[in-house]
Structure 1
């Protein structure tokens, strides 16, 4: 093939179309557990998370809640996937591999939100949230009292007793969450997130009428099972309340992933090294919302 500006432009138009075709197949499971926040600067301040919104009776002066002393900022990160196109490959019509790479780049770009969001769940036992504690922790401070949204219990459907000690305890703990004035936060856990290794256990727990010991299953249908291959542990599981506008996780998007290219003949990369470039760029990050809306277990103990 003759390498000229017209032919190169045509090639990259096709590569972009291939990229876009794969990008439109974006997975959407992450939207079930995370809230999309559109960012307009290099970072967003979430200090307001220290005030879980709750109405109270207006008697006398309004009770104005100030922001807590700690702050919580999510800084946007740059993301990229870049591929070289050798000019000789254009001359020799060896472009099939680049089309496949463009497709892979589009797929990777579409998966970025899910990668970020589900990494937050896996890292929730170690990463800090707005109150300065780990997102999943046993001692979140609420008006001088330590409150837990963390367990080590293995998710089990072997018997009613085992299910109650794991899933049942998580559900009860979340529904008992109160604000710093002692009022119920009305948490409604509805999504059970598990790795593939726990898929059968979770599905049995949510669909079976009775446990193997023939006791009734009161947890049937109480949550949607979401199986997430990106989770890094085969034993950890998570129960989330996603019924409200605010979700327990945040996906912060500054710039949606887009196709970029470098095909200018005057560019040093082309003139000196006969390399054209294409790929994807994005700016985004993720973070934690209200810990009260999430419960995590490492699944390490029976």
Structure 2
């Protein structure tokens, strides 16, 4: 028995609803801490203005202006797609089983794809596989050169024990505060490097270690823990390296990474005229989205490498 148009319409309405609900309830908070989201209207976007804003000088005869240009940096949009199928006999027998849940999961996967790309960029930021920074170096590098400034945002850690993490965190915060802008002045001269603006991103293997260092009231020796609440902690399961971690400054309108959204996730619904149905008696539901990711200011993040 063939699927009727009425049956397919009902199934597609349910699928569209489940997919959209998953998109709407997805929490974009963590992505927003790591990446600046912008709207894209072309196949690629070119960004200028990645130079530091000037200080305010004493007014005497005329105002001094700094042109917001900087080096240009192009980010191309990419298309991502995936889908699920359902056999026509299951629709005929009203044996949908987990199908509604799988469509909901497909929406979650589509909504989460930008974060997957951003985490992938973090992990590969010390090589060129995910692109290079606007100054021509890898995003995490020891040899950044920008205008009058030379600096490193790639640190070698001392290990993964609590005492080693404590020492490396202290060193990393100091290094972050000392990073220069393209004029050679302190990048953080006008920014507050407070606990609310610092995010430690660790793999699951280091989550408990980070919590011991940054959330407990007393240290291992019983003394007051001066690092308590010194930074926020995030431990995404997407991080694959068990030893490396990141220190990210979140208190700026700019972020380490740019996420440009060309097309929001959408679901493509099947019809009775599709080849997959006419030849294989399968209904295909596809999710797709288009976006691009690229690097912004290297001074906004440090990578700490442990072996």
Q: Same fold (TM over 0.5)?
A: yes
Q: Deviations over 1:117-144 (max 9, x none)?
A: 2112111121311111111111101345
Distance across 2 between alignment mates of 1:112 and 1:42: 18
TM-score, normalised relative to structure 1: 0.88
Tell me, which stretches of 5 or more residues in structure 2 are unaligned? none
Distance across 2 between alignment mates of 1:252 and 1:145: 28
Is 1:283 matched up with 2:290?
A: yes
Structure 1 residues 10 and 152: alpha-carbon distance in aligned structure 2, compared to 1, 3 A threshold? same
Match of 2:259 in 1: 251
Match of 1:132 in 2: 136
Q: Is the 8 A contact 2:160 2:243 kept in 1?
A: no
| 1:165-204 to 2 correspondences below 5 Å | 165-186=167-188, 188=193, 190-204=198-212
| 1:223-238 to 2 correspondences below 5 Å | 223-238=231-246
Match of 1:11 in 2: 11
Match of 2:247 in 1: 239
TM-score, normalised relative to structure 2: 0.86
Tell me, which stretches of 5 or more residues in structure 1 are unaligned? none
Distance across 2 between alignment mates of 1:131 and 1:56: 25
Secondary structure of the residue that 1:185 maps to in structure 2?
Answer: coil
Match of 2:76 in 1: 75
- Note the C-alpha offset of 1:163: 4.8
- Note the C-alpha offset of 1:241: 0.8
- Note the C-alpha offset of 1:154: 4.2
Q: Is the 8 A contact 2:75 2:293 kept in 1?
A: yes
The one of 197, 215, 218 equivalent to 1:207 is 215
Secondary structure of the residue that 1:125 maps to in structure 2?
Answer: coil
Distance across 1 between alignment mates of 2:9 and 2:73: 45
Distance across 2 between alignment mates of 1:85 and 1:74: 37
Structure 1 residues 2 and 95: alpha-carbon distance in aligned structure 2, compared to 1, 3 A threshold? same
Match of 1:47 in 2: 48
Q: Is the 8 A contact 1:248 1:293 kept in 2?
A: yes
Aligned residues: 295
